[in-house]
């Protein structure tokens, strides 16, 4: 996107089933390619334990602004289209990189649940992320 910024946005799978030409059922959650974040320990740590999943909505994505130490997650279906969390030394104290990313992921799943109140996957992801935040998961990841 620009100097010091990486952003990965999902794209819907447009492949059709050859037998009936109906679109395949979309999974609720999607993985984000870690290639763009191969040098980002917080993302790599969470990806290894399957914690970087996002709602499978076109345009949803994760970004990192390296110059400002800020994670950003986009969820275009929400009224507020994205949220960002800065990590490191902040005005409110020190924020671990994993914590900042988890807070962004939590926001995306909360937005998805608001739009899809019966989504069991959203409820599960929110519970898992809240638990990870509560135990300060990844506090030792740079």
**Per-residue pLDDT reduced to its tens digit, 58-81:** 999 999 999 999 999 999 988 889
**CA-based R_g, the chain, Å:** 16
Instruction: Spell out the alpha helix ranges (H) of the chain.
Output: 41-48, 97-115, 120-134
**109: phi then psi, degrees, rounded to nearest 5:** -70, -35
Per-residue pLDDT tens digits for 90-136: 998 999 999 999 999 999 999 999 999 999 999 999 999 999 999 99
Side-chain half-sphere CA neighbours of 55 within 13 A: 30
Per-residue pLDDT tens digits for 36-63: 788 899 999 999 999 999 999 999 999 9
The per-residue pLDDT for 36 is 77
Q: Does residue 105 come out as left (phi exceeding 0), alpha (psi in the -120 to 50 range) or beta?
A: alpha
Compare 14 and 118 and report the one with higher pLDDT. Answer: 118
């Amino acid at each position: 996107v620009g100097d010091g910024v990486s952003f990965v946005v999902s794209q819907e799978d447009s492949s059709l089933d050859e037998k009936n030409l109906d679109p395949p059922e979309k999974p609720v959650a999607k993985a984000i390619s870690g290639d763009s974040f191969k040098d980002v320990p917080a993302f790599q740590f969470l990806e290894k334990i399957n914690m970087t999943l996002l709602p499978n909505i076109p345009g949803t994505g994760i970004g990192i602004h390296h110059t400002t130490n800020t994670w950003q997650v986009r969820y275009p279906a929400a009224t507020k289209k994205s949220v960002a969390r800065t990590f490191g030394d902040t005005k409110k104290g020190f924020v671990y990189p994993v914590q900042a990313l988890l807070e962004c992921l939590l926001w995306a799943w909360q937005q998805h649940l608001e739009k899809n109140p019966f989504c069991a996957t959203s409820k599960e992801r929110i519970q898992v992320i809240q638990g990870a935040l509560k135990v300060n998961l990844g506090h030792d990841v740079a």
